[in-house]
Every structure is written in C-alpha cells, then in structure tokens.
Chains A and B, each alone.
Chain A
Amino acid sequence: MWVRKNWLAVFSRVGAIVFKELKQLSRDRMTFGMIVMIPMMQLLLFGYAINTDVRHLPVGLINLSQSSQSRDLVAALEASGAVRFKQVYASKAEAEKAITLGESKAVLYIPADFPQRLFSHPNYPGNNNRAAWSHSDPQQPIAQWMVDGSDTMVAASIKALRNFPLAEITGQAYQANPAVLEVVQYFNPEQRSAVNVVPGLLAIILTMTMIMFTAAAIVREREQGNMEFLINTPVQPMELMFGKIVPYVLVGLIQVSIILGIGHVIFHVPVRGGLLTLFAAALLFIFASLTVGMVISTLVKTQLQAMQMTVFILMPSILLSGFMFPYEAMPAPAQYIAEVLPATHFMRLVRGIVLRDASLTGQTFDMVWLLVFTLLGLMFASLRFKKRLD
C-alpha cells in the first residue's frame, strides 16, 4: 500500500519529539540547573582567572650593591606594577636553587658596582656622547634578570622590562626613545584579557553543553530501551534528529543570553556589532554543535562513550580554535584541524561581532561553513541511524 507523504503527520511527529524532550528536560532538575549554572560559574571563574597580562609577578632579589641607587631601581620596578619583590637571596647560587625549586620565577641580580654601571650607561641622563661612547667600550647592562624560561608568559613579561627607562630611577623627566615602529591599539585599548576571553568562552561553553546534550540523546533512549518501541513506529530518522535538536536550540540561546549578560555587566564586554547579528551567528553555531552531538550519538553504544567522544571534540575546540592561542601562530597541520571545528569559525565570528563591530556579510565564509557543516552532519547522522537493532 502507498503511504502518503503527509506533511501534517511529519509535523505531528516532530512536534511529539520536541514536546516530549521539553517535558523530560523540565522534570530533570539537575540538568535544568546545569543549563543555567554551567555558563554562569565558568564565566565568572574564567573571566577572572584567565589573564594574559602578567601583573605583580612575585620575584626575588639579590642586591650586592646596597646603594641608594639600587634601592631606587627596586622601588621603580615595583612602582611600574610589573613585579613585586617577595624574596631576598644572598648569592647567585642561592637564587639559582630557588628558581630550580620553583620558589621564584625570576630573580633580579644587582651587582656590587651598580652605581658605576648606572652612571656610565649611555641611557643615563647626562651621558650625551652616546654613539661615540658605545663604540669605544662594550655596553654594560646595569643589572641582570635570572628567569625561569620554562614559563614563556613570565619570561616574556620580564623581557619587556629590558629597556626600563633609567629616568624612572633618577626621578628626572622621562625622555622617551623615539620608537622605530609605532603601535596604535584599535580595539580593546586598555588591553583587558576579559574582553577577549568572554566572547571566546561563549564558543567553548556552547561547544561543551550543546555537544554533550545531544551526544547522549539517542544513546540514552537506546540504553533505556525506549528505542525498540520508537523504531517500531512510523517516525523517520530525520524527524527524530530534528525533534531532538530543536529543544536544545532554545537551551543554547538561553546560555548565550546568560553569558553575554554577565559578560556585559561584570566584565564590561561591549557588543559592538549588534545583538541581532550576534544571535544569528550563535544560532548557526548552536545548530552545528548540536549536529556534532547527533553524529556522536549515532556512532557510540553507551552514554559513557558519548561523554568520552564529547571530550575528544572539546579539547581541540579549546586549544586549537584560537581561544587559547592565536590561530595564525599555529603550524599549518594544526590550522587544518582547527578549520574543521565549528568552534574556530564561531570564535572568529563572535570576536569580530562583539569586539570589532564586524558585520556578518564580511564573514560570509565562516557563516556558510557552519551552515554546510550542520547540513552535512544531519545527513550523515540520519543515514547512520537505522531503524533496526542489528
């Protein structure tokens, strides 16, 4: 007998799944709480904790000079806000041991002849014959930093102190060296990490919750025995997939609102590109992430496996998407992998929209990619999902 493709019936079946999922979700208080609590907690935690501008780094000191000039240098360095002297060591050997033990990340070594070095330094105010002087005598630094180079972030911020202006020590008017290259900060002029981290967290938190919810969705029905009944009904794989995705789109949008709300109120993250643009991009990303979960759900056999697969996708999403490290700085193979992940594309979209007022039309590639990813993923999941038990 010919079964009529009845669109009302299709609608009824998708509606049944959506309705059922929402009912079940509302009964599951734990999950319901997590939908709200996960983004809130993580945003507060990471928004405060992740900070790439190293400030008030605790360091050690060896002061062999004990002169007023050396005390001026220490005071000036502390006043800059970059470091804070916590430990005092008597000798280089002692300091080296402290660095090896991890007690101090860096130690400032001030030699006994510090005042002489300071006065003869070409940058010292009053030493006018710089060029001639520096040719005649090898340039001598006034002091030395001993740095634990294993932490690149710490090493970089100490390195930035290499050309510390000597005028700060002498208290005279500061004469800036003319810069070779001028830098103008277009966005985020205060260089706050939160401005970059919060939009990135949007991508990470959505990746985690969206994939996790749907990765478990189909396996759960299989594990609890509901599937054997369900596949005996006229419901079609595509209807089942779609019906299971729709409720979590709502969940995703709720999370986006929470993250942006808190990000705006607490971390003063601007949304320059307009909320509508942002929600459009978020919607695309939510669909793509939910599809990843669906694909996982059709590949695995238990909910535990689904969780493991979720983490397998989550890790590169955190590390390669440009959330932690700049995409451009990664080697080509890592970039190819990153390019496959929806999180990478959303990371670009969201940072563009939130921080730089970029419009969606300028980022068509990322938008189209997310869309194509979703469609291919849904097709793959529907083909993988068989209405059979073998």
Chain B
Amino acid sequence: MSNASQTPYAIETRGMSRRFDQSLAVDQLDLKIPRGTIYGFLGPNGCGKSTSIRMLTGLLAPSAGEINVLGYQLPAQAELLRPKIGYMTQKFSLYDNLRVDENLDFVARIYGLTRQQRQQRCAELLALYELIPYRQQLAGSLSGGQKQRLALAAATLHNPELLFLDEPTSAVDPENRREFWEHLFDLCQQGTTILVSTHYMDEAERCHGLAILEKGVKRADGSPQALMADMGARVMEISGENLRYLKQQLIAQPEVVSAAQLGTRLRVLVKNSVPEPQRWLQNHAPGSLIEEVRGSLEDVFVVVTGGRNVG
C-alpha cells in the first residue's frame, strides 16, 4: 500500500500553499523533515506556522502543492493518518469542565483503548507529567504549565509516530519551558518525530532542524548551527559613547544589515561583503571598543528577514 515506512522523511512537501481569500498565508513551502528529529518552525505571529501545521495534519486542504506525511498523501488520506499523529493545539483544546483524569480517560476511549490499557496508560501519563496531585481537579482550574503538560499527555496518549506542537510554550514560564523540552527530548529518544512551532529563539536553537518563516515564505532552513555558520554576515559589538547617534549613522550604510542596542553595547550585523568588518567599523566609530562575537539564531533571523523584524 501507499504507506512507505522506508522513506527517511516523516514529512515531505512540495510547493505547499494556502490562500485565504486574497492573502497568501503559506507560499510554496518545500519541507523535508527526517524521522526521529525535532523540527522547528520559527517565525513571528502570522507568518503561516499554524496554517502550515494544520495542512500537515490534514485539517486544512492546501490550495496548491503536494503533501506527504508518514507516507500518506494529504488531504486525501487524512483519515488513515489520524491514528498515527498527535496534535497539541495552540489554544488549550481539552474540556475545561472535565477533571484531569476524565479528560485523559475520554481521549483514551476515543482512541479505542481497552479498559485495562486505558487505566495503565492514564496512570503512566499522570505520573510522567507530574499530574497525579491534580488528577481530581477540573482542567479549567489548572495553571498554564499544568494545562500544557495535560495537553501533551493527551496528544501522546496513543503513542503517535509524529507529534505536532503549535506554540506549546506560549503560556508557560521559563522554568516550565525547560522541563517541557526535556519531555520532548525523551519522546524524540523513543523515536517520535516532533514538529514544533515557536517564536522563541532559545527554543528554536534546541531543534535538530529549523525553518524560518516570514509572511508565509520559508526564508532559510537547516540545523541551527549551520544556519548560524552561513548566515552571510558577521556580528560585531561596539561599546562606547553616543550609541543612539552611532546606530542612526550605521543603519544608513548599505553594508550594515541591522544595528540594535543591548544595554551599553551596540550589536551590529555587517555583511560578509566587507572583508575586514572590525577595521571598517572603526572608521565609522572612532574611539569605540569593537569586538567580534558569536552569532545567535536571532542574528540569523534578522539577516534572513532583511532586518525587518528587529529594530
């Protein structure tokens, strides 16, 4: 049959596009996401992350392009794909007026687990995601982090091969975010492919592979390290006087991608076309202390989106 478990990719798309009325939410997206990896969609709000995920889960039909997920053609074979994927929506989508354990039990019944399987799996998940103290509580009364763990438990209850997470940590504090990622790495270790969308740079940096989206277009993709290595610009930091004035001067230069103030320093991205950026900058900012620093994912993001998204 059409299930090609042999292909190395969990997700493969060619020219995936989606139009809403006049606007193009996703434009010609080509993806190749290897099995067993954590892949990230990085981009600002409204860049087409959620729309892309909905097309990849079969919830939205693409306006154009081909989609192959776990060997199934979408949207035609969406129903066959459903038992193999888990989906954690951006907004909490379990029932607020059911208890934690009732929610999990409901999901288990929906996936057709037997009574014994149900009890075992629910107990397992409650323990794994530290929800045992709250199991009698209504889901609506949980905190952001607890809700998120419950949602992850529900999305992974049937041991899906592929897990979609749409901005899973947007309502969670940094401490919980770190723990959440530990859970994701555990799942990945067990062979689950994970596609996660985020607008946090530190989260994106944890992914094995990454696509930077802006206005529905893929601006760059690759591993975070590779993206940082070939970003086409060098990162310089200037300390000194009159940084506000200096910034105005520098961003007027065509060689400068962006300049952003970080406290007492000015972080400047200089295009690779400038052979010696340190000396070049020294001419523009005499008397300042200038040093080259390691590029971050945020710098990559600024470069590939042409500096439009960072002041």
Which A positions have Cβ atoms within 8 angstroms of B?
A: 1-3, 6, 8-9, 12-13, 15-16, 19-20, 23-24, 27-28, 224-235, 387-390
Pick from A8, A19, A20: contact of B112, CB under 8 Å? A8
Pick from B54, B59, B85, B95: contact of A226, CB under 8 Å? B95
Contacts of B154 in A (CB 8 A): 229
Given contacts A9-B112, A19-B109, contact A27 B97 (CB under 8 A): yes
Contacts of A12 in B (CB 8 A): 109-110, 112-113
Contact status A232-B109, CB under 8 Å? no
Contact status B106-A20, CB under 8 Å? yes
Contacts of A390 in B (CB 8 A): 60-61
How far, in angstroms, from A230 to B57 measured CA to CA in the complex?
12
Contact status B97-A228, CB under 8 Å? no
Of B75-83, B176-184, B186-194, B233-241, which binds chain A?
B75-83
Given contacts A20-B98, A229-B89, contact A1 B109 (CB under 8 A): no
- A5 to chain B minimum Cβ distance, whole angstroms, is 12
How far, in angstroms, from A234 to B106 measured CA to CA in the complex?
13
How far, in angstroms, from A6 to B90 measured CA to CA in the complex?
32
Contacts of A224 in B (CB 8 A): 96
Given contacts A19-B109, A23-B98, A234-B83, contact A388 B60 (CB under 8 A): yes
How far, in angstroms, from A228 to B53 measured CA to CA in the complex?
12
Contact status A389-B59, CB under 8 Å? yes
Does residue B3 face the partner (Cβ distance < 8 Å to A)? yes
Chain B count of residues within 8 A CB distance of the other chain: 35
Contact status B112-A231, CB under 8 Å? no
Contact status A24-B82, CB under 8 Å? no
Pick from A24, A227, A230, A388: contact of B98, CB under 8 Å? A24
Q: What is the interface of chain B mostly: helix, strand, loop, or mixed? A: loop
Pick from A23, A225, A232: contact of B85, CB under 8 Å? A232
Q: Mark B91-111, 1 if CB is under 8 A from A, else 0.
A: 111111110001000110111
Contact status A1-B61, CB under 8 Å? no
Contacts of A226 in B (CB 8 A): 93-95
Q: Which of B1, B87, B97, B102 has the most CB of A within 10 A?
A: B97
- A228 to chain B minimum Cβ distance, whole angstroms, is 5
Given contacts A13-B109, A24-B95, contact A387 B79 (CB under 8 A): yes
How far, in angstroms, from A387 to B79 measured CA to CA in the complex?
9
How far, in angstroms, from A57 to B193 measured CA to CA in the complex?
81
- A268 to chain B minimum Cβ distance, whole angstroms, is 42
Contact status B98-A225, CB under 8 Å? no
- B110 to chain A minimum Cβ distance, whole angstroms, is 5
In this complex, what residue of B is CB-closest to A390? B60
How far, in angstroms, from A232 to B54 measured CA to CA in the complex?
10
Contact status B89-A225, CB under 8 Å? yes
Which B positions have Cβ atoms within 8 angstroms of A?
A: 1, 3, 54, 57-61, 75, 78-80, 82-83, 85, 87, 89, 91-98, 102, 106-107, 109-113, 138, 154
Contact status A388-B94, CB under 8 Å? no
How far, in angstroms, from A388 to B57 measured CA to CA in the complex?
10
Contact status A388-B61, CB under 8 Å? yes
Contacts of B113 in A (CB 8 A): 12
Question: 6 other contacts beyond A1-B3, A6-B112, A234-B112, with CB at 8 A cut-off?
Answer: A3-B80, A23-B98, A27-B138, A228-B91, A387-B79, A388-B75
- A227 to chain B minimum Cβ distance, whole angstroms, is 8
- A1 to chain B minimum Cβ distance, whole angstroms, is 5
Q: Can you list 27 contacts pairing A with B, beta carbon distance less than 8 Å?
A: A3-B80, A3-B83, A12-B110, A13-B109, A13-B112, A19-B106, A19-B109, A20-B95, A23-B98, A23-B102, A24-B97, A224-B96, A225-B92, A225-B93, A226-B94, A228-B89, A229-B93, A229-B154, A232-B85, A233-B107, A234-B79, A234-B110, A235-B110, A387-B59, A387-B78, A388-B59, A389-B59
Contacts of A15 in B (CB 8 A): 109
In this complex, what residue of A is CB-closest to B54? A389
Contact status B59-A16, CB under 8 Å? no
Q: Which of B57, B79, B82, B138 has the most CB of A within 10 A?
A: B82
Question: What 7 A-B pairs come out closest when comparing CB atoms?
Answer: A16-B109, A9-B112, A229-B93, A232-B87, A225-B91, A12-B112, A225-B93
Contacts of B82 in A (CB 8 A): 232-234
In this complex, what residue of B is CB-closest to A27? B97
- B74 to chain A minimum Cβ distance, whole angstroms, is 11
- A288 to chain B minimum Cβ distance, whole angstroms, is 28
Contact status B59-A228, CB under 8 Å? yes
- A386 to chain B minimum Cβ distance, whole angstroms, is 10
Contacts of B87 in A (CB 8 A): 228-229, 232
Q: Which of A8, A13, A229, A389 has the most CB of B within 10 A?
A: A229
How far, in angstroms, from A139 to B87 measured CA to CA in the complex?
90
- A17 to chain B minimum Cβ distance, whole angstroms, is 8
How far, in angstroms, from A124 to B263 measured CA to CA in the complex?
115
Contact status A233-B89, CB under 8 Å? no
- B198 to chain A minimum Cβ distance, whole angstroms, is 19
How far, in angstroms, from A23 to B113 measured CA to CA in the complex?
20
How far, in angstroms, from A6 to B112 measured CA to CA in the complex?
9
- A2 to chain B minimum Cβ distance, whole angstroms, is 7
Contacts of B93 in A (CB 8 A): 225-230
Given contacts A20-B95, A388-B60, contact A1 B1 (CB under 8 A): yes
Contacts of B3 in A (CB 8 A): 1
Contact status B110-A16, CB under 8 Å? yes
- A30 to chain B minimum Cβ distance, whole angstroms, is 12
How far, in angstroms, from A298 to B102 measured CA to CA in the complex?
26
Contact status A233-B54, CB under 8 Å? no
Contacts of B60 in A (CB 8 A): 388-390
